[in-house]
Amino acid sequence: MPMKTIAVFVSGNGTNLQAIMNAVVRGALKARIALVVSDKKDAFALKRARRAGISTLFLDPKDYRDRRAYDAAVLRHLKAQEVDLIVLAGFMRILSPSFVRAYRNRILNIHPALLPAFPGERAIKDAFRYGVGVTGVTVHFVDEEVDHGPIIVQEPVRVLATDTMESLEKKIHKVEHRIYPEAIKKVLSGGLILKGRRVLPASHPEKT
């Protein structure tokens, strides 16, 4: 069976990309990162990928008339690389519905809160300011709505009275770096099925 190929989409520092690359190198994730895609020319994540010998792609959104045209250009590159799974790792653009349909149930995202609580790009700050005692991390499939697709895995993170925004961010990122490669592995193994919004093990008695 040929090794599955991944494209990782990034916009920033790329710490989750690094966690995924590390998992591949140590054999915990048996996949090939075929391409790292970014909408930001200076994203440090691109430097991480290049240092690891991974192909990168930067496409400037300003060069395209709209989001759909941009996504169509990205899709052409993914097809050329025969990408099996797309992994969003700090990618700050919203994918068009046509893009999501092209990779239905083959796009993953990681969110630094326990969805559906605290969606959006300020999830850690929002949870901290709200005063929750527990927040966490969610890995989910991407659908046409933002931070909405079926949940693959969640892990809680306790917010202590002594926590600051910075310490909470560190705890959440530590969980992200551990569970994202594990979730990718589950999806690529074919060991999960979708039943409505529920993501179940393929051996689950409710799968039919």
Which two structure tokens, joined as six digits, stand for 45?
Answer: 């994540």
Q: What proportion of the chain, given as a percentage, has pLDDT over 90?
A: 89
Q: What is the mean pLDDT of residues 122-137?
A: 98
Query: In the 8-state DSSP scheme, what is residue 22?
Result: H
> What's the mean pLDDT in 127-149?
96
Per residue in 146-186, pLDDT (tens digit) is 899 999 999 999 999 999 999 999 999 999 999 999 999 99
DSSP 8-state code for residue 61: G
List pLDDT tens digits, range 3-38: 899 999 999 999 999 999 999 999 999 999 999 999
Active site residue 111: yes
pLDDT band at 205 (very low <50, low <70, confident <90, very high): low
pLDDT at 2: 74
Site of tokens 């039919």: 208
Q: What does the alpha-carbon distance between residue 12 and residue 187 come to, in Å, rounded to a whole number?
A: 25
pTM for the model = 0.93
Question: Is residue 141's pLDDT more than 70?
Answer: yes
Annotated binding site for (6R)-10-formyltetrahydrofolate: 67, 92-95, 109
CB 184 within 8 A of CB 8: no
Which of 66, 70, 16 is closest to 39 using CA atoms? 70
Handedness of CA 127, 138, 144, 15 (dihedral sign): positive
Model pLDDT, residue 203: 74
**Beta-bridge partner residues of 32:** 5
Q: How far apart are CA 80 and CA 204, in angstroms?
A: 35
Could you report the per-residue pLDDT of 63-96, keeping only the tens digit for each? 999 999 999 999 999 999 999 999 999 999 999 9
State the pLDDT confidence band at 195, using cuts at 50, 70 and 90. confident
DSSP label of 150:
P
Task: Report the chain's mean pLDDT, rounded to a whole number.
Answer: 94
Which residue in 83, 94, 9 sits closest to 46, CA to CA? 9
pLDDT at 125 exceeding the cut of 90? yes
Q: What is the largest CA-CA distance in the chain?
A: 50
Fold identical between 1-103 and 111-138+156-208? yes
Reply yes or no on domain 111-138+156-208 having CATH 2.102.10.10.
no
Q: For residue 191, is pLDDT > 90?
A: no
Domain boundaries, the chain: 1-103, 111-138+156-208
Using the structure block, give the residue that is written with the tokens 């075929």.
34
Q: Label residue 204 by pLDDT band (50, 70, 90).
A: low
Lowest mean pLDDT among 59-68, 100-109, 156-165, 196-205: 196-205
Of 77, 111, 173, 177, which residue is the catalytic one? Answer: 111
Q: Write down the CATH number for the domain with range 1-103.
A: 3.40.50.170
Cα–Cα distance list, 120 to 23, 68, 97 (Å): 27, 21, 18
Say what the pLDDT of residue 90 is.
94
Give the per-residue pLDDT at 3. Answer: 86
Known binding residues: 14-16, 67, 92-95, 109
- Cα-Cα-Cα-Cα torsion 175, 54, 190, 98, nearest 10 degrees, comes to 100
